[in-house]
Structure 1
Amino acid sequence: MKMNLDHRFPRETPPELVGIEPDIRVAFILCPMFTLLPFAAFIDSLRHAADEADFSRQIYCSWKIVADDCHTPLTASCGAEIMPQETFGDFGTLNYVVVVGGLLPHCLGLSKRARQYIRAAHDKGISIVGLCTGSFILADIGLLDNRRCAIHTEHISEFRTLYPSAVPVSGEMYVNDREVLTSPGGTSALDLAFHLIDTHCGKARAVKGLSSLLIDNHRSARRFHYRPHGHLAACGNRKVETAVEMMERHITTPYPVSELARKVGCSERELCRLFKKHGNTSPSETWRKIRMAHGHWLLLNSDRSITQISHECGFADSAHFNRWFKVIYKESPHAYRRRRRVRDQ
């Protein structure tokens, strides 16, 4: 008999986030016998960065899988099958087309229509990404001529033979040469995905994704060493590091420090003592700085209104956000945004 376990996994109510356009839009093309790991690493990075907590709504990031038709499953090298969602068509407001390679030579059997779609996207100024042996496809259609590209050491010799006009390199997690980006495969797809999320959505979204995917705290701290709270994310105390991870996962919906302490497994008093010991700060101040740093980034890199930014950063209203922004940055959000735009003109 099937048991209803819903009551054992109570879920928070997703925060209302309306009127927000995605900061990054991606279309995936899966080659024949594509490798599942780099695809999963990349798309799950987007999923975790796209929404608050683990609600998985396509708010800050959006993605789709495109193919010749929507009725034929695409088979991975491990035998798993994935159904595409759309056929090749208009590019709309796409930022990236991601080509996921696979077993050689099977992946080179990518259809003519798919290749034309990739070339047309590039010609329209859309950035192209090649994961794993997706670089072979990009080279095959001429997009890597005189461009550096990241190739797995296992394939670099045959790549050089097949595509002498390309400039393959090994030992790099990803390469971006004039908006054609390549990654050698495996977990290096994470590095490329988080680089793009950081660029388009801000460090807070990228770090939230790293935490959600259980990427090692110390690796995360090295990658985002300029975080205002980076020292706490890798301080060596499990309770503090876990608390910081949870703060990063709940930018829009912070909850009381007492609840945070309960989730971490200690008392509020102990958690405050640990934050004081390892960072000379408090949990509430750290959480506020994480949210304010994201708001600061949004002011500079998005057209969201102050009200939208306030809500995205977990403040009840813009007045509350404005007050704390002035405390930290010594001017109002409106004045800061206006001054930076005048300076950059």
Structure 2
Amino acid sequence: MGNRSRSTVAVLMVDGADLFETSVPISVFGLDRTASGAPAFEVLSVAAEPGPLTMTTGVQLVAPYRLEDLDRAGVVVIPSWRAPAERPPEHVLEAIVAAHAGGALIVSLCTGAFVLAASGLLDGRRAATNWYHADALQQLYPEVRVDSSVLFVDHGDVVASAGCTAGVDACLHVVRRLWGAQAALAIARRMVVPPLRAGGQAQFIDRPLPEAVADDGIATTIAYAQEHLDESLDPAALARRAGMSRRSFDRRFRDTMGTSITQWLLQQRVLRAQRLLENTDLSVDRIARDVGLSTGVTLRPHFRKIVGVSPQRYRETFRLAETGTPVAAEIPPRSRTSA
């Protein structure tokens, strides 16, 4: 990675871009949340074109950094592009390709996928963008395999996500991949967003419930389940604890949490396993028992499906990240919907 810092995040800004999309990576990486356990980032607001830059709402921004500053960044985020049919300037594409060749992780959000596709870095690869623009992306760049059904796709060296809140998911995924689940959770809690949403799956929430349901039977049952993940938690028994029939409990739980109780429990157990892999030297079998999944044989397929790598590979990658070693090469460079 040369002189690049893994904690330096460059946000590429262009004239005519969407203000919200442009603000997403700044919201995730740009605030000091170290007191809550988040990593410290340096964010470079990079002007791809001469400024001031006028956003879609008419707000004008003056970005203090230039394309040559991409040489310092370990992560380069392309959050938006003004017009899908307009090809980005060649000098911008060359800067992105050079950053990628230098070891930077390149991340596109929403219409930023059109810039990433124009650079050639998505050729032959699966990619996501906002569903509304998926057909246009496919027509303009037929070498790209556009998937409008997923939140984001991670290839190890390149991440492409859909729009709006999926951009938050992708940025938190980058934090989780490079700095661990606890770091992503610390940021997500401060932002009051789910720390993990798997593409094609409903979100799961690892944060206090909204105050409006703080005294609800669902909330107290969730708190109980989180404290007893190492035990066998039967959904029918949890429904009785909540004082509801199983049918009413299932309906209320899905309405509140956005997923079934069975899927939520599984996701919570995998998230707990991530933290144990990061913070302890316990064996995978012991971790599996501690999160209520009996054995490593039971844990491994669920962990791989949600996280994208095996528990052992996750632990090795996290340890490398702690030492400052570039991690992108440690993630198998395969197309996957990531969680």
Q: TM-score, normalised by structure 1?
A: 0.55
Return the offset for 1:147.
0.8
Q: Does 1:297 align with 2:275?
A: no
1:214 alignment partner, one of 189, 192, 197 = 192
- Tell me which residue corresponds to 1:128: 106
User: 2:41 is matched with which residue?
Assistant: 61
- Give 1:240 deviation, angstroms: 9.0
**CA separation of 1:88 and 1:235: change in aligned 2, threshold 3 A:** closer
In structure 2, C-alpha distance between the alignment counterparts of 1:26 and 1:218, rounded to whole Å: 20
SS of match in other structure, 1:154: helix
Q: Which amino acid aligns with 1:61?
A: F
Residue 90 (structure 2) aligned to one of 107, 112, 115: 112
1:141 match:
119
In structure 1, distance between residues paired with 2:196 and 2:135: 34
**Contact 2:113–2:129 (CA under 8 A) maintained in structure 1:** yes
Aligned mates of 2:104, 2:170 — CA distance in 1: 16
CA shift, 1:66, in A, is 1.4
Matched residue of 2:131: which SS? Answer: coil
Q: Is the 8 A contact 1:31 1:110 kept in 2?
A: no
Give the deviation of 1:22 after TM superposition: 7.5
Indicate how the Cα distance of structure 1 residues 93 and 295 shifts in structure 2: closer, same or farther if over 3 A, else same. Answer: farther
Q: Return the match for 2:141 from 154, 163, 178.
A: 163
C-alpha spacing 1:59/1:234, structure 2 compared with 1 (3 Å): closer
2:66 is aligned with what amino acid? T
Note if contact 2:22-2:80 (Cα within 8 Å) is conserved in structure 1: no
Aligned to 2:21: 38
**Counterpart in the other structure of 1:100:** 79
2:168 pairs with 1:190: yes
Change (3 A) 1:205 1:23: farther
1:92 deviation in Å? 4.9
- The aligned amino acid for 2:25 is F
The AA in structure 2 aligned to 1:138 is L
Cα deviation, residue 182, structure 1: 0.8
Equivalent residue letter for 1:41:
V
State whether structure 2 residue 64 is matched by structure 1 residue 81: no
Q: Which amino acid aligns with 1:130?
A: S
- CA distance in structure 2 between the aligned counterparts of 1:218 and 1:155, rounded to whole angstroms: 24
2:98 counterpart SS class: helix
Map 1:321-336 to 2 at 5 A: none
Q: 1:37 to 1:214 in 2, by over 3 A?
A: same
- Rounded to whole Å, the distance in 2 between the matches of 1:32 and 1:236 is 40
Larger Rg: 1
Residues 168-317 of structure 1 aligned to structure 2 (within 5 Å): 168-215=146-193, 230=206, 233-234=208-209, 278=224, 297=278
Distance in 2 separating the partners of 1:180 and 1:218? 19
Q: Distance in 1 between matches of 2:163 and 2:275?
A: 30
For residues 20-31 of structure 1, the aligned pairs below 5 Å read 24-31=7-14
Q: Which moved further from structure 2: 35-44 or 118-127? A: 35-44
- Kept after mapping to 2: 8 A contact 1:49/1:206: no
Contact 2:8 2:42 in 1 (8 A): yes
- Given that 1:160 and 1:166 are in contact with CA atoms closer than 8 Å, whether structure 2 keeps it comes out as yes
Contact 2:131–2:148 (CA<8 Å) still a contact in 1? yes
**Aligned pair 1:153/2:131, yes or no?**
yes
2:302 — aligned with what?
none
Deviation at 1:102, TM superposition (A): 3.0
Q: 1:64 to 1:233 in 2, by over 3 A?
A: same
Q: CA deviation at 1:203?
A: 2.2
The alignment's TM-score, normalised by the length of structure 2, stands at 0.56
Q: Check conservation: 1:149, 1:177, Cα contact below 8 A.
A: no
Q: How far did 1:278 drift? A: 3.9
- Structure 2 residue runs of 5 or longer lacking an equivalent are 228-273, 282-318, 324-339
CA positional deviation for 1:299? 7.7
Specify the SS of the correspondent of 2:106: strand
Q: Tell me the equivalent position of 2:331.
A: none
1:142, distance to aligned residue in structure 2 (A): 1.1
Relative contact order (alpha carbons < 8 A, sep ≥ 6): 1 or 2 greater? 2
Alpha-carbon distance change, 194 to 216 in structure 1, aligned in 2, over 3 angstroms: closer
SS of corresponding position for 1:72: coil
How many residues were matched structurally?
A: 234
Cα distance in 1, alignment partners of residues 224 and 11 from structure 2:
43
**What secondary structure, in the 3-state scheme, does the structure 1 residue paired with 2:16 have?**
coil
